[in-house]
Amino acid sequence: MQRDGDVLRVTGLWLEDGIKMGRNRKAALASELNRYRRFVGASRVDFLPDGLGA
């Protein structure tokens, strides 16, 4: 993650083998990123185009 101004940017997310990004996992990730966003004082969270894998 990078913080640029008031934007929290997710630059990459790599899941362990066998872990799938289902609906519940996406909701939990969004919730935690939103919590962290508030903690650092950012206004929004952005994913870079290839931020969900490598």
pLDDT tens sequence across 1-54:
666 688 988 888 888 999 998 899 989 999 999 999 999 999 999 887 765 544
CB 11 within 8 A of CB 48: yes
State residue 16's pLDDT score.
92
State residue 54's pLDDT score.
42
